[in-house]
């Protein structure tokens, strides 16, 4: 498999406070991976560093074989726009644009031609089941629909990897399940690589792999393999119990 993300001895500190400690990690093309850990474990910082939002303090990170250390701020921004998609807990949809306009915005900024935009939209909207809300505005749709629209916006650029930061955190259980099922569908149908930070074992059980952090380091990993989602969920709960609370 081709590595989309690879780190070697990755570390991050703020002043004299260490947050990430010598992390070695590989995420391959087509994986759906969750990062879990207690508050203060470093999971959000790890995602920020991997997504180029924050700079590393030591070690190195390669994205699609490109070392982040070799890129200046402008090159990092262009790399992020070309190869990454983002799904945030608070959706980040623009209220003055329709759902369709929100989803197409990244392609419009790249001056992609209208026929190609419409073709991509048709496929993604169909996969996420949001064809019926494309002409509505964010204020007119539910939280679950907003998150699906945000997911479509992240996927439509055909990124190498999608970073999802607590994407189910603001959703009710029904909407959360619907979104997770759609992310699995996108992962399996389009081969989209997804890296998701979550505190929720239920959300993590939809992934193929779960990485556990504690005190800034990787302490355990689980793979779903041929297990069903319920059995994997139970294993995640057991691992959380064994690892304890960590740093709070």
Phi, psi dihedrals of residue 60, rounded to the nearest 5°: -150, 155
Dump pLDDT digits (tens) for 52-98: 889 899 999 999 888 988 888 888 888 888 889 998 878 889 999 99
The reply to whether the predicted model has a pTM over 0.75 is: yes
Enclosing H/E stretch for 239 = helix 229-243
Is residue 247 very low, low, confident or very high in pLDDT (cuts 50, 70, 90)? very low
- How much of the chain, in percent, has pLDDT values that exceed 70? 98
Dump pLDDT digits (tens) for 19-33: 999 999 999 999 999
Do 247 and 215 form a contact (C-beta atoms < 8 A)? Answer: yes
* Per-residue pLDDT at 189: 85
Total domains, the chain: 1
Dump pLDDT digits (tens) for 7-21: 999 999 998 899 999
* Per-residue pLDDT at 207: 96
Enclosing H/E stretch for 236 = helix 229-243
Highest mean pLDDT, choosing among 37-41, 110-114, 140-144, 208-212: 208-212
Closest CA to 64 of 82, 43, 42: 82
* Per-residue pLDDT at 124: 87
Q: What is the CATH number of the domain that holds 97?
A: 3.40.50.300
3-state secondary structure 89-147: CCCCCCCCCCHHHHHHHHHHHCCCCHHHHHHHHHHHHHHHCCHHHCCCCHHHCCHHHHH
Q: Give the range of the structural domain holding residue 237, as residue numbers without chain letter.
A: 3-245
On average, the pLDDT of the chain sits at 90
* Per-residue pLDDT at 248: 32
């Amino acid at each position: 498999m081709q590595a989309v993300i690879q780190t070697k001895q990755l570390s991050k500190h703020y002043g004299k406070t260490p947050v990430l400690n010598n992390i070695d990690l590989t995420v391959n093309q087509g994986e759906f991976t969750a990062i879990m850990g207690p508050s203060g474990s470093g999971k959000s910082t790890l995602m920020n560093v991997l997504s180029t939002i924050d700079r590393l303090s030591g070690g190195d990170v390669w994205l699609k074989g490109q070392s982040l250390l070799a890129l200046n701020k402008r090159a990092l921004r262009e790399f992020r726009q070309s190869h990454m998609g983002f799904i945030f807990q608070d959706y980040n949809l623009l209220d003055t644009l329709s759902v369709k306009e929100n989803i197409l915005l990244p392609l419009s900024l790249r001056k992609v031609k209208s026929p190609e935009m419409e073709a991509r939209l048709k496929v993604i909207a169909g996969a996420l089941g949001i064809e019926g809300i494309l002409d509505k505005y964010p204020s007119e749709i539910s939280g679950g629909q907003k998150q699906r629209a945000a997911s479509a916006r992240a996927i439509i650029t055909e990124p190498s990897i999608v970073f999802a930061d607590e994407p189910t955190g603001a959703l009710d259980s029904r909407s959360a399940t619907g979104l997770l099922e759609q992310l699995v569908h996108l992962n399996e149908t389009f081969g989209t690589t997804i890296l998701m930070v979550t505190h929720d074992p239920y959300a993590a059980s939809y992934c193929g792999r779960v990485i556990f952090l504690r005190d800034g380091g990787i302490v355990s990993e689980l793979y779903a393999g041929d297990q069903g989602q319920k059995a994997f969920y139970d294993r995640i709960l057991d691992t959380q119990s064994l690892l304890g609370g960590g740093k709070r």
